[in-house]
Structure 1
Amino acid sequence: MTSPALDASPPLGLLDLFGDGFVRDPYPWLDALRAQAPVRHDPGTGLWLVSRHRDVSRVLLDPDAFRPDNAQHAVTPLPVSALRVLARAGFRLAPALANNATAGHPGLRRVVTRFFHAQRVAAAVPVIERVAGELLAAARERLDASGDCDLYSSFAQILPCRVLMELLGVDGVSPATLIRWSDASLELFWGRPTPERQLELATLVAEFHQWLTHTVTDGAAPPGSFVAALAAHRRPDGEPLDVETAVGACFFVLIAGQSTTGQLIATVLRRALAEPGLWTRVADEPGTAEAWVEEVLRREPPVTTWRRVTARPVELGGVDLPRGAQLLLMLMGSGSDPEVFTAPQDMCPHRANVRRHLAFGAGRHRCPGASLARTEAAVALRAAARHLPAIRPSATAGDAPMLGLLSFRAPLQVAVEQPWGPRT
């Protein structure tokens, strides 16, 4: 199974991480970075781009020299109008999980991992299958009525949100609202929106933060829920978790636990539908859906980059970096590093060393929801292939809009059709 031949290396001086050319086809740029400038300063963002697998891995595994403090900073400076909206809502992202290098991080991480360990994920498979079945039945009805359907908005985006809400005991908000808040947060902090758009997004993020604050402080969290676990948690000094940190943990988990998984499912579905013969195989062959998900994570992960900042002067990839250098780890590019993966442009399910990819990070801050994301994506792919065996990509599928944020990339549409059109 192969992808189209790679284009000639583009000139790195024209690189725009938010540009349509990079978002549509980042691979020539990522290959050029690894080959020509594996640690390169990007004037457009002010970030140092780190693209080789060995360098990215080194940074992730040395949190003392490369700190996570900047992981959730806004990429595009916020205008005063947006800052006022956030300030009125009391918005502040205290160090909680991805941006936390304090002594409190290990204990807080343990609270999170209790909801995502392997046994709990295995027990959640019937929930994932049930929700997937409900959503795909509705998709089937749309296909029969109109002949086509978008599996992103009707399935990939909704499934992980509903599953996460059940697993964490989240209620009092609709999945559609939580998705809208999460998408707004990603765009505000990882996008390049206009000042007018930033104001719109800040209003939604403020609503999200106010709802989280109320949820954390109202004392009504059901026993066994994620919020109840945070309330019971104690810091290293024995004191209860402060509200800001609890809200920050919820903010990160509720976004990462469903938005990025929805993006992964969308990419998995799109790539599987385009691969000759694969749709039938993932429906029937044990382990094929899981293997395809892993290969997509290597080649085209939804979390494409992550940030770190140097705690002291350090040499990386032959470049001397000062203290305070802002790094952008090219997770997506590291998965196609030929030093690690043979014929990285080829999609090869069951690749022997596929789990050396860094799609979930590594070390102290490795994604605690990795097992759930893998499982949800594989169940979603298998269920879609079984419920909708005859679908094919729509004629317009190749022109689908793409999410192109600094750290997140995925199709925003998975348009499919059935060969016989609508049923009359």
Structure 2
Amino acid sequence: MASTETRPAPLPTGLPGLPGLFDPPFVADPYPTLAALRKSSPVHFDSGTGLWLVSRYEDVRGVLLDPGTYLPDNAQHSVTRLPVSALRALARAGFSLTPALANNHGAEHAGLRRLVMRFFNAERVAAAVPMVERTASEMLAGLRPRYAAEDTCDLAVEYARLLPCRVMMRLLGIEGISADTLAAWSDASLELFYGRPPAERQLHLAEQVGEFHQWLTAQVSAATAADGLIGGLRRHRTPDGAPLDVPTAVAVCFFVFIAGQSTTGQLISTALLRAVADPGVWARVATEDGFAEAWVEEILRREPPVTTWRRVTAHQTELSGVRLPAGAQLLLMLMGTGSDPEVFEDPDRLCPHRGNIRHHLAFGAGRHRCLGASLARTEAAVALRAAARALPDATLAEPGTQPPMLGLLSFRAPLQVVVHRRSGR
């Protein structure tokens, strides 16, 4: 029962005196806005998106741990209304995203989650480390000749973006398609559903997403009951004993492929950018046992690739003293929770090995916590350490400048990490 002291929900407003969530100032530096929200309006209606912004750590964690009140149904909804042309392109491709993992609160969610988890558990990730190291070394060897000649290399575009895709392909036995194509499809999916592209670009993105969906459908339809994720999905039975239908299996693969590629690549890009900007950190990453892992964990706390996630209220409820009606669309500010001074001391400073570092919410919490957390952590640490060892004298080509940033509703990372050899080496 709601308290009689509960204040009514505020009238719809934007962020008074602060940039909107898609505005360049927010994308470049979201921290002032996140701090202002935590301090003065922890549950705030944003008229620019129609979402309730939830910014304090305890509130966000409470929402994630209460799936009965806060449903995941809207997690993969398009942020921007798609034009008819884009909808037709998706329809021609037979595109649909039935509830599967991130957007599923039904009885079948637990079984699907257990199935996918078998392919990304700690034991399998540990066994995959030599393969990840080998893949990283192969990619860095391709950059070495230009780097040695004192040319520039873009570690975000040429390394971080493609490494997770190649790892995913090797883990899941995917053949007959290039990593560049899969990465492009994954990036297009994020931009279409979490960005605000103009109508003509939405059509282009929808066509790419349609191609991705058709390829996944063909993979699932042709799969046998062999080992591997897709084979496991074909063998899977729903709670009523029926075989898993193809659209749901495709929806699982759609989510897993994107989460395993794009978001991990974004994490690696950010970890590289922040480490290479500091020669002392770059040297420690290369030489000090455990430092790469600690650095990645701090990046996850302070600057995670998944900056927000959505929920919708199942019924009227109260959060941080604000009444929310049934059907209220919530945006959980995951990135802001990692800088909440009520939880993390000196939150603005990157401090590897801080005592409560694993308390961050970069991977969510509860029954929908990220299935690929172990793989993402491991890949990012391996990628960071391999780069620091292969390019020990690297420095940013334009130190002190902010690179262009990916600025989607729920995803943020540097689009470029351009480095070259430090002079005099």
**Equivalences, count:** 412
Residue 140 of structure 1: CA displacement?
1.0
2:103 aligned with 1:99, yes or no? yes
2:119 maps to which of 115, 120, 127: 115
Q: Is the 8 A contact 1:397 1:416 kept in 2?
A: no
2:177 maps to which of 153, 173, 189: 173
Aligned twin of 1:132:
136
Q: Is the 8 A contact 1:169 1:226 kept in 2?
A: no
In 1, distance between residues paired with 2:415 and 2:206? 22
Aligned twin of 1:415:
418
Letter aligned with residue 178 of structure 1: L
Q: Is the 8 A contact 2:310 2:330 kept in 1?
A: yes
Query: Is the partner of 1:258 in helix, strand or coil?
Result: helix
**Mapping of 1:185-204 within 5 angstroms?**
185-204=189-208
1:405 maps to which of 404, 408, 411: 408
Give the 4+ runs in structure 1 shifted more than 3 A: 10-14
2:110 aligned with 1:78, yes or no? no
Residue 139 of structure 1: CA displacement?
1.3
Aligned twin of 1:375:
378
In 2, distance between residues paired with 1:146 and 1:278? 22
Residue 356 of structure 1: CA displacement?
0.7
Q: Higher mean Cα deviation, 26-35 or 10-19? A: 10-19
Query: Is the partner of 2:401 in helix, strand or coil?
Result: helix
In 1, distance between residues paired with 2:347 and 2:73? 32
Aligned twin of 2:71:
67
Aligned twin of 1:4:
none
Letter aligned with residue 289 of structure 2: P
2:168 aligned with 1:164, yes or no? yes
**CA-to-partner distance for each residue in 1:269-310, whole Å, 9 max, x for gaps?**
000111341111111111111100000000000000000000
Aligned twin of 1:206:
210
Change (3 A) 1:186 1:397: farther
**CA-to-partner distance for each residue in 1:384-414, whole Å, 9 max, x for gaps?**
1111101101126724211000000000100
In 1, distance between residues paired with 2:423 and 2:360? 40
Aligned twin of 1:339:
342
Give me the CA root mean square deviation: 1.5
Aligned twin of 2:9:
none
**Mapping of 1:343-362 within 5 angstroms?**
343-362=346-365
1:26 maps to which of 10, 27, 30: 30
Residue 147 of structure 1: CA displacement?
1.9
Aligned twin of 1:216:
220
Q: Is the 8 A contact 2:224 2:234 kept in 1?
A: no
2:260 aligned with 1:254, yes or no? no
In 2, distance between residues paired with 1:115 and 1:139? 31
Question: Gaps (5+ residues) in structure 1?
Answer: 1-9
Residue 146 of structure 1: CA displacement?
5.0
Aligned twin of 2:317:
314
Residue 420 of structure 1: CA displacement?
4.2
In 1, distance between residues paired with 2:383 and 2:223? 35
Residue 13 of structure 1: CA displacement?
4.3
- TM-score, normalization: structure 2? 0.95
Question: Gaps (5+ residues) in structure 2?
Answer: 1-13
Query: Is the partner of 1:116 in helix, strand or coil?
Result: coil
2:38 aligned with 1:38, yes or no? no
Residue 104 of structure 1: CA displacement?
0.2
Q: Is the 8 A contact 1:269 1:381 kept in 2?
A: yes
In 2, distance between residues paired with 1:397 and 1:161? 30
In 2, distance between residues paired with 1:258 and 1:150? 18
**CA-to-partner distance for each residue in 1:358-407, whole Å, 9 max, x for gaps?**
00000000001000000000111111111110110112672421100000
Aligned twin of 1:386:
389
2:308 aligned with 1:305, yes or no? yes
Q: Is the 8 A contact 2:305 2:411 kept in 1?
A: yes
Residue 11 of structure 1: CA displacement?
6.5
2:59 maps to which of 41, 55, 62: 55
Query: Is the partner of 2:44 in helix, strand or coil?
Result: strand
In 2, distance between residues paired with 1:417 and 1:363? 42
Q: Is the 8 A contact 2:18 2:33 kept in 1?
A: no
2:189 aligned with 1:152, yes or no? no
Residue 154 of structure 1: CA displacement?
1.2
Letter aligned with residue 354 of structure 1: I
Letter aligned with residue 132 of structure 1: A
Aligned twin of 1:291:
294
